[in-house]
Amino acid sequence: MVTTHNLGFPRIGAQRELKFALESYWKGESSSQSLKDLGAQLRQRHWAHQQGIDLVPVGDFSFYDQVLDMSFTLGNLPERVSGFHGDALDNYFRVARGRSAKSAEAHSACCGGVAAGEMTKWFDTNYHYIVPEFNAATAFKLDTTRLLAHLTEAKAQGVKAKPVIVGPVTYLSIGKAKDNSDRLALLPRLLVIYTELLNTLAAQGVEWVQIDEPILVTELDADWQHAFNTAYHQLKSCKVKLLLATYFGQLQENAYITANLPVAGIHIDAINDREGVLPLINLLPAHKVLSLGVINGRNIWKTDLTAVLDWIEPLAERLGDRLWIAPSCSLLHVPVDLASEEKLDAEVRSWLSFALQKLEELQVLGTALREGRHAVNAALTANQAALAARRASPRVHNPVVRAAVAHIAPHLGLRKSPYTQRAARQSALLNLPVYPTTTIGSFPQTADIRHARSEFKAGHLDASGYKAAMHAEIARSVREQEALGLDVLVHGEAERNDMVEYFGEQLEGYVFSQFGWVQSYGSRCVKPPILLGDIHRPRPMTVEWTTYAQSLTGKPMKGMLTGPVTLLNWSFVRDDQPRSVSCKQLALAIRDEVLDLEKAGVRVIQIDEAALREGLPLRKSQWQEYLDWAVESFRITANGVRDETQIHTHMCYSEFNDIIASIADMDADVITIETSRSDMELLDAFDDFNYPNEMGPGVYDIHSPNIPTQEHMIQLMQQAATRIPPERLWVNPDCGLKTRQWPEVIAALTNMVAAAKTLRASLVA
């Protein structure tokens, strides 16, 4: 008989209770005991929600990050947090965010802040984990306090617990050796601790342990492949059964190794690796459990239950008890409960499924496999009806949009002339100095702006009052920029709360949830918009604000848009068409906006692609295919303009070395990127690659309240000038200024403009 289980549950709480409790504790407004109590309450509630499934994850709850929890379990804490006052939780937050709660920092003389652990993206998700730190001397020491406490709570609640841990090979591979030593050299030491850990769990009566090894879906070299064999042959003697979990991608060449590891079961992501399932079954020794992740743990759509049953019933027949079913990965990556979405209309709601609904779907599948489909007839019928309605809905399908995408002609992505000719026309028209100065788009989002927006949304401020308030903000930005002496101005983005939401709300084909929060890191959550139908732009979205701003100044005003790839990568995407098709639809919609801006007399247009890099597939072998359609989408958006119109793009990072050719292929006239924190080190990419167009390497780190000096910015630009000829360099901050305060911004930009003037003078001299 089939077993149902779950790999992990969102810990933040349906109303983001954990977020608010954490932030209140950090501010010193509540005690650590009340935070701990809330944690226990959430665990209890979440386990109760999972009652109907056979094996429930324990240890997935975390006050910050499950990888950081693993580091604590393994006793792998950075040296810099030893010797502080306070308890383990205080130290935990020190590693997570550089400081603990206010109350614990009373000892500021002896326990001042420390450097927070580095954070990076968990595979291809938008969740960020704290990177484990290693060096050649790293010693591990088991600490099961947290895990055993959760296990005891679960047992008391009658939960059929399956502890969840990060596997040793993934743990090493996602960490960083601070001294550049070989992380794999630590494996023998680490395995001693894992053995102890698993035996401790066995002594608690645990039967199954889920051990996560998602790096098996990435390309591994021989040493790392070998590490899997070493690790699991050593752990084989432990008295628990291991379910080795992989997710987010395809096993491909790692399938053979995975199938033959001496573990009791394997979990595979059958959403992303459906083609890999049969080959894996054929490789799998006959006593092993195969867990299929058949419900998408990364997206919010209802599962087609009948289609899944059609597919897995024969597998259930073949595998018998050895078949388990689950979501594809931890449900950490989806919101908690659809029931809270009161504002979403009933039709759209009937197409969606958040974490709790996904667990219901899992139970329906389990019952159907055990007792036959008739036992869940009503659920299957309702599911079929919802899916059929979605498939047929005019909200999803717009024949005009589909035809437009089908007929995208190659010339849509081509500028009329090559860069050098365009550059000459643009400079004649714009009349800019060398080292022109600009900013990335937003100016400080003041309390006044937020107040006006919330009053407008609540209906206390009418449209004309709101417009007047925004016009006043735009006028202020323009005044400040003119006083600073910047060359290309921006309107300041006062009217935008978020660079995706602003456009999503005006495009047909998007919907927004009220509580669809997903943890991004620590207490930070994001609420990705839902791309549900063919994308159509009913009317211009930014032209009015931009032309108003232009009317206030004789300097060029930059129109400001979010690009198609970023809109796509920061949304929940459709599961009924390839991402590339959704991206082209977005491209056509934003292209219309670009052309409308041009028609309205805007001569410089910036199309932000902050998230282009985030969409790269986990396997390098699949990068090119993604880059091809991503770059094409950008080109369709940008390249319909006349030679005289200058196209800018902006990216929030500059790890370009591996994708530089594609970035150049976007053919933007100017690209602005983040570089100041790395001291231009990231411009190394341009040693071997001759970037053909103009570039603005950021010289002002907008993430910090520090005011950069003129000298520092000059020095950064001089470094940049060793790679890019000065005639093609711009001077600008790293990113938008919305999170900063006006006084800092004015001080920093004053220095920036002065730096540009000094650089110009040195060219003339």
Positions touching ligand GLN (CB under 6 A) are 440-442, 493, 499, 560, 608, 610, 650, 652, 735-736, 738
State in angstroms the smallest separation of the CB of 472 from ligand GLN. Answer: 19
Provide the H-helix boundaries in 372-446: 377-392, 399-406, 419-430
Tokens of 226: 């070998």
* CA-closest candidate to residue 635, choices 421, 410, 425: 410
Which residue number places its CB atom closest to ligand GLN? 736
Q: Considering the complex, what minimum distance in angstroms separates the CB of residue 612 from ligand GLN?
A: 11
CA proximity to 654, closest of 623, 612, 714: 612
Q: How far is the CB of 214 from ligand GLN (least distance, A)?
A: 27
Q: Which residues bind Zn ion (CB under 5 A)?
A: 610, 652, 735
Residue number with CB closer to ligand GLN (49 or 613): 613
- One DSSP character per residue, 256-319 reads HHHHHSSSSEEEEETTT-HHHHHHHHHHS-TT-EEEEEEE-TT--BPP-HHHHHHHHHHHHHHH
* Rounded Cα gap, residues 162 and 145, in angstroms: 17
Q: Which is nearer to Zn ion, 163 or 736 (CB)?
A: 736
Cβ(526)–Cβ(520) under 8 Å?
yes
Nearer to ligand GLN, 153 or 674 (CB): 674
Percent helix / strand / coil, the chain, rounded to 5 = 50, 15, 40
- List the one residue out of 327, 328, 314, 329 whose CA is nearest residue 369: 314
- The nearest distance, CB 260 to ligand GLN, in angstroms, is 45
Beta-sheet pairing, 128-130 with 119-121: antiparallel
Written as six digits, the tokens of 369 are 């496999």
Residue 560: which of Zn ion, ligand GLN, none does it interact with, CB under 5 to 8 A by kind?
ligand GLN
In the complex with ligand GLN, the residue whose CB is nearer, 338 or 673, is 673
Q: What are phi and psi of 676, to 5 degrees?
A: -65, -35
Partner interacting with residue 190 (select from ligand GLN, Zn ion, none; CB below 5-8 Å by kind): none
Query: In whole angstroms, what is the distance from residue 19 CA to residue 157 CA?
Result: 25
Q: How far is the CB of 607 from ligand GLN (least distance, A)?
A: 10
Close Cβ partners of 83 (under 8 Å, ≥ 6 residues apart): none
In the bound state with ligand GLN, the residue whose beta carbon lies nearer, of 560 and 714, is: 560
β-bridge mates for residue 562, sequence order = 608
Give the 3-state DSSP-derived string for 49-78, with helices as H, strands as E and coil as C: HCCCCCEEEECCCCCCCHHHHHHHHCCCCC
Q: Which is nearer to ligand GLN, 438 or 523 (CB)?
A: 438
| Sheet architecture: strand order including 557-562 | 489-490, 557-562, 604-608, 646-651, 670-673, 694-697
Closest distance of CB 736 from Zn ion, Å: 6
Cα atoms in the 13 Å half-sphere on the side-chain side of 504: 24
Instruction: Name the minimum Å distance from CB 735 to ligand GLN.
Output: 5
Q: How far is CA 682 from CA 80, 335, 676, in A?
A: 28, 36, 9
Whole-number Å distance between alpha carbons of 28 and 99? 12
Match 């206010």 to its residue by tokens: 102
Distance CA 62, CA 164 (A): 12
35's contact among ligand GLN, Zn ion, none, with CB below 5 to 8 A by partner kind, is: none
Q: Which is nearer to ligand GLN, 12 or 605 (CB)?
A: 605
**What span, in angstroms and rounded, lies between the C-alpha atoms of 28 and 524?**
18
Torsion (CA) 614, 615, 620, 625 in degrees, nearest 10: -150
| Neighbouring residues of 409: CB distance < 8 A, sequence distance ≥ 6 | none
- Residue 326 site contact among ligand GLN, Zn ion, none (CB < 5 to 8 Å, cut-off depends on kind): none
Helix (H, G, I), strand (E, B) or coil at 249: coil
- Which residue, 165 or 610, is less far from ligand GLN as judged by CB? 610
First to last CA, the chain: 83
Residue 251 CB, nearest approach to Zn ion (Å):
35
Residues in the chain, total = 765
Whether the CB-CB separation of 644 and 603 falls below 8 Å is answered with yes
743 φ/ψ angles, rounded to the nearest 5 degrees:
-60, -40
Neighbours of 611 (CB within 10 A): 21
Specify the residue, 447 or 764, whose C-beta has the smaller distance to ligand GLN. 447
Look up tokens 């400080």; give the residue: 444
499 binds, among ligand GLN, Zn ion, none (CB under 5 to 8 A by kind): ligand GLN
Closest approach of ligand GLN to the CB of residue 723, in Å: 22
Nearer to Zn ion, 334 or 647 (CB): 647
Shortest distance, position 650 Cβ to Zn ion, whole Å: 6
CB of 673 to Zn ion, least distance (A): 8
Binding-site partner at residue 442 among ligand GLN, Zn ion, none, CB < 5 to 8 Å by type: ligand GLN
Q: How far is the CB of 669 from ligand GLN (least distance, A)?
A: 17
Distance CA 591, CA 445 (A): 27
Per-residue HEC secondary structure of 178-189 comes to: CCCCCHHHHHHH
Nearer CB in complex with ligand GLN: 336/440: 440
Using the minimum distance from each CB to ligand GLN, give the nearer residue, 114 or 499.
Answer: 499
Active-site residue set: 703
Residue 312: burial class (beta carbons within 10 Å; 0-12, 13-18, 19+) = buried
